[in-house]
Amino acid sequence: MSNKIVSSIPNSEKIDRIVQAILQTPTPENSQPWKIVVRENVLEVFHSYERAKLATFPDDLSVLGIGMIAETIELAGSTEGLEARFTFLLEERSDEHPWLRAELNTVDNLSPAPLAQALFLRHSDRRYYAGGSVDDPVFQEVRQEAAAIQGANLYFTEKYPDEYLQLLKNADQIALKWPEFCEDMTRWVRFTDKEIEKTRDGMSWRSFLRKNPNWLYYLRSRLWWLATRLGWFPPSLQKLESYIFDDSSEPSPSSYDDGAGIGCITTLSASVEDLVASGRLVLRLWLLLNLRGYGFQPITNLPAIIYPQRLGTFNLPNSLNDLVANGYETLQQVFGFSEPELPIFCFRTGRAMGEYPAIARTLRRTDHVCYR
Ligand SMILES: Cc1cc2nc3c(=O)[nH]c(=O)nc-3n(C[C@H](O)[C@H](O)[C@H](O)COP(=O)(O)O)c2cc1C
């Protein structure tokens, strides 16, 4: 039975709270490639190609992002008694036209969705985890979430075969050795509090620390700051990095044993419907796990390479191609998905190590919201 629409113009504070929730939606490297236009009860979401430019993933990753935004609007709307009607405008993907239109109407009988409680709690947690197991009851809920969404699947591994760890490291190598990818990856790291406050986007260097900040880690962040500004990642720097910081989260660590496991979300195809479904699933799992005290860190280096490689849209320089030869097959073996599924989003998860430090939290811009 559908809900009855009782009024078409909800009050502006309700809409505003939904906009705040949209701003909190995660984006790759906190690049926030969206502009939100509010006209009474209609929200339009525009894309900014320049902010989203990712060398390996044309804009399918942004379509996944639209799925996350749609899910956010639906969840946040449920707490305001507002039902969303979506129009996805994803055929001609340009910055001039909106990618998503949501019309929000007041309905009776709408109960707040439980996951909405986590919209402002959710965050990326790159610290060590305090254990956890995919046999914990929360993973029962996680699997139910995945089963309820058509177009995307979820797989877990608790084991990290050497081929897989090697593939992760090779993906790091590609990211560091291919200038376009490297630029995408390092463009959004913010190294000083002043820079963070000024831009209100990107990621604080502190969020990459698996341990408490100390002088060694600060030194590391400065080294990386210098390297990214100069675009200079010689093997000697990478060796130094792994020698001093062998437990750091970047480049990939040699073990993930601190948590419950690694999840892999696959999309059944590169169609708009399946990508949107995948985005919805990513967000729902992230919210659910955070709500149950589990940390969540996307690890998308590998899907960022394997997805376009599989679609034949990845123009990887030949010299780097060998590093990920058989990458799809390796992921298939590790996670157990089958053709033609495409891995689009991987994450590590485990019991969070206490409260997430406020200082490591990412900020959001507000200058890309426009009320008409
Ligand atoms: C599609 C996507 C891919 C991401 N990939 C990574 C990743 O590979 N490694 C990582 O540490 N964080 C990754 N993130 C997390 C973002 O950096 C993070 O969501 C953003 O900085 C905002 O911070 P928050 O999640 O704490 O709100 C990814 C996020 C999204 C949405």
Q: pLDDT tens across 193-238, in order?
A: 888 999 999 988 777 766 666 677 677 777 777 877 787 777 777 7
Residue of 185 and 349 predicted with greater confidence: 349
Same domain? 38 vs 73 = yes
Same domain, 100 and 236: no
Residue 129 within any structural domain of the chain:
no
Determine whether the shortest distance from the Cβ of 362 to ligand 1 is under 6 A. yes
Establish if 127 belongs to a structural domain: no
Q: Place 81 in a pLDDT band, splitting at 50, 70 and 90.
A: very high
Statement to judge: residues 27 and 162 lie in one domain: no
Q: How far is the CA of 178 from the centre of ligand 1 (A)?
A: 20
Check: complex ipTM more than 0.95:
yes
Instruction: Confirm or reject: Cβ of 126 under 6 Å from ligand 1.
Output: yes
- Is the Cβ atom of 123 under 6 angstroms away from ligand 1? yes
In a domain, 251, yes or no: yes
Mutating to test ligand 1, I would choose from 34, 124, 205, 249 the residue with most ligand atoms within 8 A of its C-beta, which is 124
154 and 116 within one domain: no
Q: Is the peptide bond before 340 cis (omega within 30 degrees of 0)?
A: yes
The answer to whether residue 351 sits within a structural domain is yes
171 and 248 belong to one structural domain: yes
More confident residue, 210 or 163: 163
Q: In terms of domains, do 142 and 107 share one?
A: no
Residue 27 CA: which ligand 1 atom is closest? 31
- Measured on CA atoms in the order 38, 39, 41, 44, is the torsion positive or negative? negative
Percent of the chain with pLDDT over 70: 90
Same domain? For 225 and 334 the reply is: yes
Q: Whose CA is nearest to atom 20 of ligand 1?
A: 30
Mean of pLDDT over the chain = 89
- Same domain for 184 and 58: no
Within a domain: residue 82?
yes
| Whether residues 269 and 366 fall in one domain | no
Which of 1-5, 193-197, 268-272 has maximum average pLDDT? Answer: 268-272
Which amino acid is present at 108? D
Of 256-260, 296-300, 326-330, which gets the smallest average pLDDT?
256-260
Whether 54 has a pLDDT exceeding 90, the answer reads: no
Q: 235 with 285, same domain?
A: yes
* In a shared domain, residues 154 and 73: no
Taking the CA of residue 26 as reference, the ligand 1 atom at the shortest distance is 19
- How close is the Cα of 297 to the center of ligand 1, in Å? 7
127 alpha carbon to ligand 1 midpoint, in Å?
A: 13
Question: Which tokens go with 363?
Answer: 């900020």
13 alpha carbon to ligand 1 midpoint, in Å? Answer: 29
* Domain contains 131: no
CA of 199 to the centre of ligand 1 (A): 17
Residue owning the nearest CA to atom 2 of ligand 1: 28
151 Cα: distance to centroid of ligand 1 (angstroms): 22
Q: Report the number of distinct structural domains present in the chain.
A: 2
Q: pLDDT at residue 92 above 70?
A: yes
- Provide the residue range defining the domain that includes 237: 137-358
- Domain identity same for 94 and 217: no
Whether 128 is in a domain gets the answer no
Is residue 190 in contact with ligand 1, taking CB distance under 6 Å? no
In a domain, 330, yes or no: yes
pLDDT tens for 302-331 read: 999 999 999 988 878 888 888 999 999 999
Nearest-angstrom CA–CA distance, 203 and 192: 10
CA distance 63 to 73: 15
**13: domain CATH number?**
3.40.109.10
Number of Cα atoms under 13 Å in the Cβ half of residue 131: 2
The answer to whether 305 and 226 have CB atoms below 8 angstroms apart is no
Instruction: Answer yes or no: are the C-beta atoms of 275 and 71 closer than 8 Å.
Output: no
Give the pairing of strands 294-298 and 261-267.
unpaired
Q: Give the length of the chain.
A: 372
3-state secondary structure of 204: strand
Q: In terms of Cα–Cα distance, which of 358, 208, 354 is closest to 293?
A: 354
Q: Which atom of ligand 1 is nearest to the CA of 123?
A: 26
CA 124–ligand 1 middle distance (angstroms): 6
348 CB under 6 A from ligand 1?
Answer: no
